[in-house]
Structure formats: structure tokens, C-alpha cells
Structure 1
Amino acid sequence: MNAIDITNVHKHYGSLHVLRGLTLSIPKGECVILLGANGCGKSTLMRCINGLAPHDQGDIRIFNESLSQLSKPRLRTLRQKVGVVFQQFNLVQNVSVFQNVLYGALGQQRLGLLSTLSCTASQTLRERAMKSLDRVGLAHKALASCRELSGGQQQRVAIARTLMQDAHIIIADEPIASLDPKAGREIMDLLLEVVSERGLTVLCTLHQLELAQQYGDRIVGMKAGTVVLDTPREAAALSDMQALYQGDTRVEQTPSSSTTRQPLKAI
């Protein structure tokens, strides 16, 4: 079974045609590295997969369930299977590392926020949170405030929070863009080790082509709202990846919305 099936998906923001008939399938357990210049639609694609932005046309299926046909409660349940690792970590800076990891279980708890607070969480949840922190090498920082951590350490906390979520799919949106090269490689190593251990499916955007050549199973390249490159990592030519960042890479207005077709701001 494929974890993700995307068929002829279109997405507009007003007159801006962002995704243009995009089709992509990702088998369960595969790690796909997604490349493309700013403005090509990568972030919009990820938001559509996660159910945060409804697509206008086509079909997106997560484990063979069509997002556009789900009720809101079922969509929320399905989204719990999709963990997101952000470029800017999205941690609550003024609370402890331990508390941030506990928040990863929020969607699983019928009692809501109260059940994931460190002072009221069950012993089972507390043990899971510590195990997740131990896996990313930060059990000794459990009581520290997130603002006290380095960027690399904060991204490790974000990965631990995703482990706590018990997601089946990981969407990593430029997870190392704000890190130095050494920390970035360490995070990529950790992320890929963890997803391999658990048999998770990964869609990870990167801009660093040298890293794209070293990580993942498959390279997918986007340009102007559609897939233009799809190849096993070992077969990906550097020249083909570089071409994704050359020429007309940005999404523009549709012809009917403007007579001059001026480029708009990147999405």
C-alpha cells in the first residue's frame, strides 16, 4: 500500500495557481527528498497533504483514504498519523523540554490539554516522553527550558515530539535550513535513523543538493507547481537537480487573471 497518493492536484490562492496538476505517489516506508526553488509550491503541497489547506481539484489519499471525502472528525484522526518537523522548530520556548515532548500526545488524549501537562500526565505518557527524549539523546535536558537549547538541540526536541505523536508519516519542511552544516548533518542522520527503525514514510524538503545526494531513497523535484523530476537517489544527476533552481521557477498568475503575467511573491 502507498502511504501517500496524489493525483492531478490543483490548488489556487485567489488568482495564484500554485499546484498545477501535480501527481505523486509515495510507498509506505519510503523516504522522499523533495527539491525545488522557493515559490515552486513545495510548502503548499505539504499543507495539502497534512490537511491544513484543502486542494481545489484532484485527489490526495493518505493510506488510501481520500482527504476531500472525510468528515472533520475523521480528518483530525488521520492527521494524527502525519507528524511535521518544521524549519523553525515550533516549540513552546518558555516551558520545559519534557513538556514540549508531552504535547506530541495531545491529539491522542480524550481529556485534551490537561492530560498532557507534566503535572497531570499519566505515568505511561511520562515514560513515553522520556523514552522519546532518550532516543534523540536529550534525556538529560528534560527539565531545561527550550530557550536554553541550541538550534540543533531544539530540532532534536521537535523530532522527539513527533515520536511521541506516534505518527506513521513524517513531513519535514526544510528541517536543517536554520542549522549550521555540522548540526544539519547530525539532524538528518538522526531523522533517517529514527524513521528507518520505525518503518515510517518521509517527505523531506531540502535545498542543499549535496545532502540530497546522500539521504533518502528517491529524489522528487518540483518546478512551477508540478513534478518535473522523479528518480531513485542513486540515479539523480546533479545537473538535473541544479536545473530545478534555474530559469522560471516561480508560480505565476494564471493567464486569465492578468494581461502581463508578472511573477508574484513566493508561496
Structure 2
Amino acid sequence: MKAISVQHVHKRYGELHVLRGLTLEISKGECVILLGANGCGKSTLMRCLNGLAPHDQGDITIFGQPLNHLSKAKLRQLRRKVGVVFQQFNLVQNVSVFQNVLYGAMGQQRFGLLSSLACFASNDLRERAMASLERVGLAHKAHADCRELSGGQQQRVAIARTLMQDAEIIIADEPVASLDPKAGKEIMDLLLDVVAERQLTVLCTLHQLELAQQYGDRIVGMKAGQIVLDSPRTDVALATMQQLYQGDVRVDQTSAPATDTTAIPSIR
């Protein structure tokens, strides 16, 4: 089954044509690393995928359900299956780590926010929150305020919050951009380990090409609102990835140095 299917999608903001007939498919359980320079349309694509920005033309389906034909109620239900890990963590800084993780279950509860407050949460929710914190190695920080944590620890809390959501798809928007290299690798290791354990589908944007060489099943590259590179990670040369951040719109095999024996990916 295709977890995500994007077919000939266009998105405009006034006269700015951001997504230009973009097509992308991601299978259930697959991890795709999305690369591209700032302004190429990556963030817009991610907003379209979780329903935050309606697309103008084309079709987007999540587990076979077309986003542009769902009622608001059905769209809310579908969005519960899509967890987002942000670059800036999006935590409530002046409340506890435990409470931030509980917020991840808000969309599942009959009374929403009220049911996810620590003072009203059920024993089941509280146990799940502690188990999520244990999984990311922060159970001992449950009662600390998030503002007391390092950047790497805060991103671990954000991952634990996503685990509470019971999402089936993880959209990670530059999850290590705010971290130093050591913390960034630790977060990527943790995120991909959790994904493998739960057999989740992942679309993760990165700018760190050295990390892109190590993680995921496929490398997808964007330029000017289109997919110009889509190939298994092990087939993509570093020089090919670097071309995504240069001026030419099209990536081709001339990007690979003559001494590089890595196969050149197919280009779309």
C-alpha cells in the first residue's frame, strides 16, 4: 500500500508558483530523505501533506484517502495519523516534560485538551506518556520544565510526544537543524530506530548531506517545486546531492567525479 501518493500537484501563493506538477509516492514503512535548497518547495509540500495548506491542482492521498475530498471532520481524523517533528521543537516551554508528552494524545481524547492535562489524564495515558519518555531516554526528566533542557533533549521530548499520538506517518521537517553535529546524529539514530520498531512511514527533510548519506531508504531531491532526483540512498553520489543546492535546475550524471564508483541515480 502507498502511504503517501502525490500526483501532479500544484500549489500557488498568489503569483508565486511553488509546487509545479510534483509527483511522489512513498510506500508504507518506507523512509524517504527529502533534500533541496531553501525555497524549492519542501516545506510547502509538507504542509500540503498534513492538510495545513490545501493544494490547488492534482491529487494527494494518505493511505488511499484523497485530502481534497474529505470533510473537515474526516481530515482531522486523518491528520491524527500524521505526526510532525519540527525544527524548533514546538514545545510549551514553561510546563513539564511529562505534560508536553501528554499533549500528543490530545486528538485521541473525547474532551481534547482537558483530557490530556496531567491532573485529569487517565492512568492509561499517564503510563503511555512515561513509556514514551522512557523510550527516548528522558523518564528521569519527566517533572522538569522543557525550558531547562538542552536542544537535543527537547527534540527527544518532541519525538516522545509524537509517539503518544500513535501516528503511522512521521513528517520530520529538518529535525536536527538546530542541533550540533553530535546531538543531531543521536536524534537521527533515535528517530530511525523508533520508526523501524513501529514500522512507520517517514518523510524527513535534511540539509546535512553527511547525514543524508547515512539514513533512509531513498533520497528525493527537489528544485523549483519539482522532483528532480529519486533513487535508493546507496545509489546517490555526494556530488549529485550537492547539485541540488546549485543553480542548475536539472541534476545529471556529470555531477559524479570520474573516480567515484557510486552509481548515478535515475533522474526525473
Determine if the alignment matches structure 1 residue 3 to structure 2 residue 3: yes
2:166 — aligned with what?
A: 166
RMSD: 0.6
Tell me how far apart the structure 1 counterparts of residues 77 and 54 of structure 2 sit (CA, whole Å).
16
Code of the aligned partner of 1:21: G
Code of the aligned partner of 1:199: Q
- State the shift of 1:238 in Å: 1.2
Code of the aligned partner of 2:21: G
1:264 — aligned with what?
A: none
- State the shift of 1:237 in Å: 1.3
SS in 1 for 2:193: helix
Code of the aligned partner of 2:195: V
Tell me how far apart the structure 2 counterparts of residues 111 and 75 of structure 1 sit (CA, whole Å).
18
Tell me how far apart the structure 2 counterparts of residues 184 and 65 of structure 1 sit (CA, whole Å).
34
- State the shift of 1:187 in Å: 0.0
- Same amino acid, percent of matched pairs: 81
SS in 1 for 2:222: strand
2:191 — aligned with what?
A: 191
1:104-132: CA deviation from partner (whole Å, max 9, x where unpaired): 00000011111000011000000000000
Following superposition, which runs of at least 4 residues in structure 1 exceed 4 angstroms of deviation? none
- State the shift of 1:133 in Å: 0.3
1:129 — aligned with what?
A: 129
2:258 — aligned with what?
A: none
1:1-267 equivalent positions in 2, closer than 5 A: 1-247=1-247
Code of the aligned partner of 2:52: L
- State the shift of 1:240 in Å: 1.2
Code of the aligned partner of 2:120: T
SS in 2 for 1:78: helix
Tell me how far apart the structure 2 counterparts of residues 220 and 235 of structure 1 sit (CA, whole Å).
12
1:135-168: CA deviation from partner (whole Å, max 9, x where unpaired): 0000000000000000000000000000000000
Tell me how far apart the structure 1 counterparts of residues 62 and 195 of structure 2 sit (CA, whole Å).
18
Tell me how far apart the structure 1 counterparts of residues 177 and 113 of structure 2 sit (CA, whole Å).
31
1:159-204: CA deviation from partner (whole Å, max 9, x where unpaired): 0000000000000000000000000000000000000000000000
**Structure 2: 5+ residue stretches without partners:** 250-268
Tell me how far apart the structure 1 counterparts of residues 152 and 185 of structure 2 sit (CA, whole Å).
10
Code of the aligned partner of 1:35: L
**Structure 1: 5+ residue stretches without partners:** 250-267
In the superposition, the TM-score normalised over structure 1's length comes to 0.93
1:252 — aligned with what?
A: none
2:265 — aligned with what?
A: none
